[in-house]
Amino acid sequence: MMLNLYVALIFLIRVASGATTGGFTFNGNIELQGVAEVSTNGLFRLTNTTAYAVGHVFYAQPLIFKNSSTGKALSFSTTFVIAIVVDKSSFNGHGMAFVIAPSKNISGASAQHLGLFNSTNDGDPNNHIIAVEFDNFRNQEFHDINGNHVGIDVNSLRSVKAEPAGYFVDETGEFKNISLASGERIQVWVDYDAARNQLNVSLSPIFVSKPNLPLLSLDIDISPIILDQMYVGFSSSTGRLVQSHYVLGWSFQVAGKAQLDLSKLPSLSSEEEQSKSNKNRDLAIGLSVSGVVLLAVIIVSLILVFKKKKEKDKFDEVLEDWEVQYGPHRFAYKDLFAATKGFTEKELLGKGGFGEVYRGVLPVSKIQVAVKKVSHNSKQGMKEFVAEIATIGRLRHPNLVRLLGYCRGKGELILVYDYMPNASLDKFIYKTEVTLSWNQRFKIIKDVASGLAYLHEEWVETIVHRDIKPSNVLLDGEFNGKLGDFGLARSCKRAQDPETTHLAGTLGYIAPELAKNGKATPSTDIYAYGVFCLEVACGRRPVESRASPEEANLVDWVYRRWKEGKILSTADSKLQMDFEVEEVELVLKLGLLCSHPVAEVRPRISQVLLYLKGIASIPENFDFQIPGPDQKGQSYNPAILDYSIASFTVTESLRSVGR
């Protein structure tokens, strides 16, 4: 360590004051930050086996990047050789990046942001950072294209442009993949042409000439992004999984062509061999000094560790490859065990199809949370667990329940949410004498629509919830509605995959076409939302086993009363007519429109919000139409509706409640 500091100090002594206009070769004027270190032969290692660490290597002097008279960015050229080494016993960790930044001191950067940004400043134009990332981990938060790619980043880790790592063979035009984390040396060229406003990135295995066709070519004027003087260097980071990032050589030139003598590069293999040799030597010395005493201590220690492990086996945790990207939200099992007082019955909030939910208080922060132990007696339990993490873990909306984190122990699948003091909506409709006012119900109906709009139309991909019902709508301390329980949620593309499609949801809320083909779509969510609206307004379940045949099905019953001009008679009697008539009529008609048997007739959720906000008027005389052979349609009659649909919705539902 002292030797590394000495070598770095020699480099720093060469630093001159002020900015330079030319270029440099990677043999001096270098500053190290974080865990970055340099070997005696000049090999730079940005990160090592330290978890959640950041390493920076910057050229110590700022470079002039703009023409002082025009303010136009100057052309530049750089080439460097990198290597990423992953421990054979580990998965790939985070990548590394070549960086152009306004300062060499990047403070506050987080490990999952390649040591460049954090969750608060990612995407901020005031960053003035341009980077080329070499990433061997797919992070969905930043829309990474795969787990082995090169991307051009501007003020954010969401790449402006990215391609799988590789190069084009000049003679044939064939594309050849390059594994970034192979441990092999890779040469990279980054060139900016100021006249053409074009940034090009190329790479190839070492000693293969620069490809004529770049891997990435981006038309961009960097003048508004950069400052007059900028620093250049490299940044990398590690998370829970670690890997070593090396820079073996580097040349940079403003308004010129960078040149690098590959024959003078330090040896990566000798560095690794030297490290192994040092470890072996230290071990031999240690054994010779300690001898039998050391062996005795080791044996006793192993016995104690084994005994302790056996006693606390229930606190062991499991890590699988799909979990890595959610690492920042992973809780320790022992903390959740303590938070819920050992998952005692006294803290049990409720049980559902997917497991049990407990109240908990986190040991350090003292924050109240809801801890859900997912049922895992089958493969379906694991699928539901993964689905909920992969979906809600990335979503942020005031009307969606926020997932705080997760945990996996041996035989335990656990999710941690914000605690909702007022539990679920169904409790106030069916399970307690305390009822909600119409204003509260109307607000909750709009809240759920707002959350659903985010899933269907505002998130980066369309998410189908597939299980909208009052028991999945949770209420905070102020009775704001939040849509939760994403155990069945899927992206729209995934939900319609023939290999994964199966009937999902709760009987009574399942759209006719979903019962027939099993394909979930935003429209099937709208159907369930329509039933939900009727349920909240009427205060009764979608199917009542003890009601007369005419009133057994909620949708049919409300439809008939509407046609009879008595739609208000379906409103929940517990409201005692204390409501705005126009609002109740709106919700009841909207519920019917959304639960229309023909999917194409149902409105989009954005249109639903316009109705609820009074910006648009719901059709007054819409009718349930079933397309006939002549395509003109015929009036919907619940008594003669295709009972391949109705019998599934009604008869099976009655059977499920024990009739």
The catalytic site residues sit at 467
Whether 68 contacts 37, CB under 8 Å? no
How far does the chain reach from its first CA to its final CA, in angstroms? 77
Helical spans, DSSP H, in 312-378: 333-339
* Selection from 73, 199, 178 nearest residue 136 by Cα: 178
CB 426 within 8 A of CB 527: no
Q: Which 8-state DSSP code applies to residue 509?
A: S
Helix (H, G, I), strand (E, B) or coil at 90: coil
Look at residues 67, 5, 80, 82 and name the one whose alpha carbon lies nearest to residue 36. 5
Among candidates 401, 418, 415, which has minimal Cα distance to 331?
A: 415
How crowded is residue 479: how many other Cβ atoms within 10 Å of its Cβ? 18
Q: Name the nearest CA neighbour of 98 among 234, 201, 192.
A: 234
Q: If you search the block for the tokens 């330079």, which residue do you land on?
A: 20
Closest CA to 358 of 408, 415, 426: 415
Q: What are residue 553's phi and psi, to 5 degrees?
A: -95, 125
Structure tokens that stand for 497 in this block:
């995959």
Closest CA to 40 of 73, 18, 10, 14: 10
Give me the DSSP letters along 366-382: --EEEEEEE--SSHHHH
Using DSSP's 3-state secondary structure scheme, residue 519 falls into coil
Relative to beta strand 30-34, strand 216-219 is unpaired
List, in order, residues 6 or more apart from 573 with CB less than 8 Å away.
539
Cβ burial 144-172 (10 Å sphere, 16+ → b, else e): beebbbbbbbbbbbbbebbbebbbbeeee
3-state secondary structure of 480: coil
Return the SS3 of 137: coil
Length of the chain: 659
Joined together, the tokens standing for residue 126 give 């005031």
Beta bridge partners of 483: 400, 473
Contact 542/509 with Cβ under 8 angstroms? Answer: yes
What is the rounded distance in angstroms from the CA atom of residue 577 to the CA atom of residue 310? Answer: 63
The partner residues of 352 in beta bridges, in order of sequence, read 355
DSSP string, 431-461: I-S----HHHHHHHHHHHHHHHHIIIIISSS
CA distances from 67 to 45, 70, 72, 199, 226 (A): 34, 6, 5, 18, 12
- d(CA 659, CA 651) in angstroms, rounded, equals 9
- Read off the tokens for 466: 């597939």
User: If we measure between CA atoms, which residue out of 592, 586, 583, 530 comes closest to residue 556?
Assistant: 592
